[in-house]
Amino acid sequence: MTTSAGRTASRGRIDKRQAILDAAFIVFARRGYAQACVQEIAEEAGVAKPTVYNHLNDKETLFRHALTAVTDAVLAENLSVVERLRNPGPDLRATLEDVAYRLIRMCCTKRSRSLRWLTYAQVARFPDLIDLVLSRTSDQLCEALADRLARLSLSGHLRACDPATAAEQLLALITGPMEGRSRLGTRTASTAEMHAVATVAVDTFLRAYGAPENR
Amino acid sequence: MTTSAGRTASRGRIDKRQAILDAAFIVFARRGYAQACVQEIAEEAGVAKPTVYNHLNDKETLFRHALTAVTDAVLAENLSVVERLRNPGPDLRATLEDVAYRLIRMCCTKRSRSLRWLTYAQVARFPDLIDLVLSRTSDQLCEALADRLARLSLSGHLRACDPATAAEQLLALITGPMEGRSRLGTRTASTAEMHAVATVAVDTFLRAYGAPENR
DNA sequence: GGTGATTTGTACTTGCTGGTTCAATTTAGT
DNA sequence: ACTAAATTGAACCAGCAAGTACAAATCACC
């Protein structure tokens, strides 16, 4: 932790910290926490092993920093997708299908899958990471979606309902089937399959929550 | 469960194989695969370390056998719950809520959670286990549920629909929210919370798939 | 009681990996 | 060019766990 963010005393060469964190996530995602050895991370970052320990104290902080960084990135992407519901076009169903499809694509990203997998896999060793990752992804995403659904309900596009549970269920209808179809990320789903899941999820959602004219 | 099943040539003492497998699952669930040392498994089984290697060749086969055994047990329990839909009473909604609630309770079992966690956590090391566990739990459960829903559809209790997707979505509505609420099994959900999730899941399911009089 | 197979305890080898040390080298800024 | 910081490569230590060897003890069965 020589110079963290302030950046007055510049590094001897370029800033290798980011390269190390990126490499750490890649290697952790490839091997898992226990199997990932620091040597491999150093090689992936194009750096010597002691340099890794210069920037991050030990393997655990390396893991935490790498994971939180990716978590923030994934959250930002997800939120930007949900934000599309702020201006629903005349065809609500089409807009929802578009959002659902984009969310599915996000969840199938290598980065997103690795993030879910790593947090789930290390729940025994780092139980607090579950809370951090889950609150910054699922919870905030659900919250944002609930906001949009509430407005849609007020404007008469959806029937009166509890927006929080509606959001929770819509997300479940989207991510649940995809998790099974993709074998927890082992199999890569086709575009057609993702479209199909999105369509059918929105269909049941609108049957349950749509205003009579959208049902 | 001293002597397992057929077992003509009885072991020197009682059959310790089952005790070892049970202990293995317990310890693997407690520590994770990498952190679980064979010594601890042996102690948990009340057995010496070399005895473990007498019955199971190495740590990997130990893991595989323990996991498949638990998989089969969990599947059997889940199937027995879905079987309750074979005789739906006059109140379909109540029956569905009962089944949903029981499934939720199953999913929150320590054994069931450990099974999901272990398979997910070791996907990098044993990718084939994902297929084995998923096909014997999610897939077969979904299949059985689809069978029951198809009959309900034919008998006019549900609207005409594709039973496979209906089952997939009902399971998603049940398990998805619970996975988030329980923080991937970190937090133990209250009975009230489980009932609430079951009720609201069945409600949206019936809004989307119920026959007009059940909607 | 005898016999053969199984179990047990202990100790050992082996291999791997996290983390450190250190002298030599390279780099950035002046 | 000079200095101070950062980087590098290599070696090194410590700990931990998988798997094995082996002699002593124990059990099932006759």
- The predicted-structure confidence for A109-138, as pLDDT tens digits, reads as follows 999 999 999 999 999 899 999 999 999 999
Four-way CATH pick for A59-214: 3.40.50.2300, 3.30.43.10, 1.10.357.10, 3.40.50.300: 1.10.357.10
If you count DSSP H runs as helices and E runs as strands, how many of each does chain A have, helices first?
10, 0
Whether the domain at B13-56 and the domain at B63-214 fall into the same CATH topology: no
pLDDT on residue A178: 97
Total residues found in chain A within this entry: 215
Q: Which nucleotide is nearest to B12 (CA to C1')?
A: C6
Q: Residue A87 to residues A91, A99, A149, A159, B90: CA-CA distances in angstroms?
A: 11, 12, 12, 18, 45
At position B155, the amino acid (one-letter code) is S
Chain A residues closer than 8 Å to B30 by CB: 124
Segment A2-18 shows an average pLDDT of 49
Four-way CATH pick for B63-214: 1.10.357.10, 2.40.50.140, 3.40.50.1820, 3.40.50.300: 1.10.357.10
Domain ranges of chain B: 13-56, 63-214
**Closest residue to B130, CB basis, from A122, A176, A186:** A186
Segment A150-174 shows an average pLDDT of 97
| Other beta carbons less than 10 A from residue B152's beta carbon | 22
More confident residue, A152 or A8: A152
Strands (E), chain B: none
**pLDDT surpasses 70 at A9:** no
A83 CB contacts (<8 Å, ≥6 apart)? A144
Q: Which residue of A has its CA nearest to B165?
A: A200
B12-57 tens-digit pLDDT: 455 788 999 999 999 999 999 999 999 999 999 999 999 999 999 9
Say what percent of chain B tops pLDDT 70.
93
**pLDDT surpasses 90 at B91:** yes
pLDDT on residue B51: 93
Say what percent of chain B tops pLDDT 90.
88
More confident residue, B1 or B133: B133
Q: How high does pLDDT run on average in chain B?
A: 91
pLDDT on residue B13: 53
A49-63 tens-digit pLDDT: 999 999 999 999 999
At position B137, the amino acid (one-letter code) is T
Question: Near strand D (CB < 7 A), which residues?
Answer: A 2-3, 9, 11-13, 16, 46-51, 54-55; B 10, 12-14, 35-39, 49-50, 53, 58-60
More confident residue, B4 or B15: B15
pLDDT on residue B175: 97
**Quick one: CATH architecture of A13-56?**
Orthogonal Bundle (1.10)
Question: Near strand C (CB < 7 A), which residues?
Answer: A 10-14, 35-39, 49-50, 53, 58-60; B 11-13, 16, 46-51, 54-55
Q: Which residue of A has its CA nearest to B186?
A: A127
Q: Which nucleotide is nearest to A2 (CA to C1')?
A: D6
In the numeric block, which tokens belong to residue A10? 């510049």
- On strand C, nucleotides with any atom < 7 Å from a protein CB are 4-11, 16-22, 26-29
pLDDT on residue B56: 92
Per the listing, tokens 């898992």 go with A32
Which residues of B fall below an 8 Å CB-CB distance to A? 30-32, 34-35, 117, 120-125, 127, 130-131, 134, 138-139, 142, 165, 168-169, 171-173, 175-177, 180, 183-186, 200-201, 203-205, 207-209
Say what percent of chain A tops pLDDT 90.
88
Let me know the angle formed at the C-alpha of B171 by B145 and B156, rounded to the nearest 5 degrees. Answer: 50
Indicate if the alpha-carbon torsion angle B169, B174, B180, B186 is positive or negative.
negative
Contact call for A177 and B184, based on CB within 8 A: no
A50-98 tens-digit pLDDT: 999 999 999 999 999 999 999 999 999 999 999 999 999 999 999 999 9
Contact call for A172 and B173, based on CB within 8 A: yes
Instruction: Reduce the secondary structure of B45-80 to three states and give it as a string.
Output: HCCCHHHHHHHCCCHHHHHHHHHHHHHHHHHHHHHH
Segment B104-130 shows an average pLDDT of 94
**pLDDT surpasses 80 at B5:** no
**Closest residue to A169, CB basis, from B123, B142, B173:** B173
More confident residue, B9 or B39: B39
pLDDT on residue B15: 76
Q: Which residue of B has its CA nearest to A185?
A: B123
Q: How high does pLDDT run on average in chain A?
A: 91
Per the listing, tokens 């001897």 go with A12
Q: What one-character DSSP code corresponds to residue B189?
A: P
pLDDT on residue B14: 56
Segment B111-121 shows an average pLDDT of 95
Confidence of residue A2 (pLDDT cuts 50, 70, 90): very low
Measure CA to C1' and name the residue nearest C19. A58
CA–CA distance, A23 with A45 (Å, rounded to integer): 5
Contact call for A184 and B130, based on CB within 8 A: yes
pLDDT on residue A3: 34
**Closest residue to A169, CB basis, from B125, B171, B177:** B177
CA–CA distance, B49 with B39 (Å, rounded to integer): 6
Q: Which nucleotide is nearest to B31 (CA to C1')?
A: D17
Residue A212: name the closest of A87, A86, A92, A84 by CA: A92
At position A86, the amino acid (one-letter code) is R
CA of B162 to C1' of C22 (A): 70
Measure CA to C1' and name the residue nearest D28. B12
B146-196 tens-digit pLDDT: 999 999 999 999 999 999 999 999 999 999 999 999 999 999 999 999 999
Q: Which nucleotide is nearest to A42 (CA to C1')?
A: D8
CA–CA distance, A25 with A27 (Å, rounded to integer): 6
- With b for 16 or more beta-carbon neighbours within 10 A and e for fewer, the A20-51 pattern comes to bbebbbbbbbeebbbebebebbbebbebeeeb
pLDDT on residue B77: 97
CA–CA distance, B98 with A54 (Å, rounded to integer): 57
Confidence of residue B214 (pLDDT cuts 50, 70, 90): confident
CA–CA distance, A176 with A80 (Å, rounded to integer): 21
Chain B residues closer than 8 Å to A169 by CB: 173, 176-177, 200-201, 204
